[in-house]
């Protein structure tokens, strides 16, 4: 198995689950060079490919949309073309940011996309390129990723709690915190399933349940970690960012459960695991 990505949260969880896989970091396959990514697949001739690498700087993408679109759009498209030509299953990770975040109903895989910013547009471009390549592809949209690795909301809250006893957290953005370990397991299950049945190709959603606001998630983190921090709910308008965040990031994972037997992730239990891993 060939994995694009080495240092990201999902890539590190994939390395734990599949240490026998080949992992390509930026030094071996820079996604700003789509042709090099395609060539890497030709060289390794893997049984399956998972793209766990991406341009993820949501706010910076507003200034670097052309670069983000190459990394998140053209590169996965080039990977998918090679995989389709050789009959190699290809799994690509995408995001809730392809939607406009309206309403309160969980997004289904084939709901109309309407990204609010450059990052979402770049990820939508990648989805379109992968779908256009055909073959045995699986696009896995997910949201609010957390783990004991890299940078994420859980680690940020723990760091802030070391010097603060009161935090204002956005409460009008609602979604499913998703453990990176669960995403890694889902990618592996999809790669295996597509190897056996290419007709399962398509777009799927995988996110944590139940849906919560960022503020509610922060309260859960502090409660489980034993940190005495008061969380004050604020609207997104009180915390402006260069890129607008979706208000509704709820994801409907029914089709993933039906096709691959994968239920939604239990973020509460996964949070226990992550906090235990981070404990001194």
Is 49 inside any structural domain? yes
Is 43 inside any structural domain? yes
pTM value is 0.96
* Domain hosting residue 6, numbered range: 2-151+177-208+251-267
Is 280 inside any structural domain? no
Is 165 inside any structural domain? no
Dist. CA 8–CA 95, nearest whole Å? 15
Q: What is the pLDDT of residues 26-58, one digit of tens each?
A: 999 999 999 999 999 999 999 999 999 999 999
pLDDT confidence band for 280 (50 / 70 / 90): confident
Active site residue 119: yes
Dist. CA 148–CA 172, nearest whole Å? 26
- Of 160, 276, 15, nearest to 4 by C-alpha is 15
Is 167 inside any structural domain? no
Dist. CA 43–CA 121, nearest whole Å? 30
Dist. CA 193–CA 186, nearest whole Å? 10
- Out of 55, 97, 110, 119, which one is annotated catalytic? 119
Q: What is the pLDDT of residues 227-268, one digit of tens each?
A: 999 999 999 999 999 999 999 999 999 999 999 999 999 999
Number of domains the chain contains: 1
70 DSSP assignment: I
CATH number at residue 80: 3.40.50.720
Dist. CA 1–CA 228, nearest whole Å? 44
Q: What is the pLDDT of residues 58-96, one digit of tens each?
A: 999 999 999 999 999 999 999 999 999 999 999 999 999
Is 110 inside any structural domain? yes
Is 6 inside any structural domain? yes
Is 237 inside any structural domain? no
């Amino acid at each position: 198995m060939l994995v694009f990505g080495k240092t990201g949260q999902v890539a590190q969880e994939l390395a734990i689950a599949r240490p026998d896989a080949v992992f390509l970091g930026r030094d071996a396959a820079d996604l700003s060079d789509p042709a090099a990514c395609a060539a890497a697949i030709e060289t390794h001739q893997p049984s399956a490919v998972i793209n766990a690498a991406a341009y993820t700087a949501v706010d910076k993408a507003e200034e670097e949309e052309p670069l983000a679109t190459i990394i998140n759009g053209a590169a996965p498209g080039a990977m998918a073309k090679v995989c389709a030509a050789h009959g190699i299953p290809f799994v690509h990770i995408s995001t809730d940011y392809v939607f406009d975040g309206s309403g309160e109903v969980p997004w289904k895989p084939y709901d109309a996309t309407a990204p609010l910013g450059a990052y979402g547009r770049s990820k939508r471009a990648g989805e379109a390129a992968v779908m256009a390549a055909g073959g045995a592809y699986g696009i896995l949209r997910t949201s609010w990723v957390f783990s004991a690795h890299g940078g994420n909301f859980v680690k940020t809250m723990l760091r802030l709690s070391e010097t603060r006893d009161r935090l204002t957290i956005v409460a009008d953005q609602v979604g499913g915190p998703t453990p990176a370990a669960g995403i890694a397991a889902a990618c592996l299950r999809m790669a295996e399933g597509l190897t056996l049945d290419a007709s399962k190709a398509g777009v799927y959603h995988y996110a944590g349940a139940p849906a919560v606001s960022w503020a509610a998630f922060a309260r859960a983190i502090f409660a489980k970690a034993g940190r005495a921090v008061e969380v004050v709910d604020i609207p997104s308008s009180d915390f402006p960012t260069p890129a607008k965040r979706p208000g509704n990031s709820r994801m409907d994972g029914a089709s993933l459960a039906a096709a691959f037997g994968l239920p939604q992730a239990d973020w509460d239990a996964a949070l226990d695991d992550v906090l235990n891993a981070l404990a001194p």
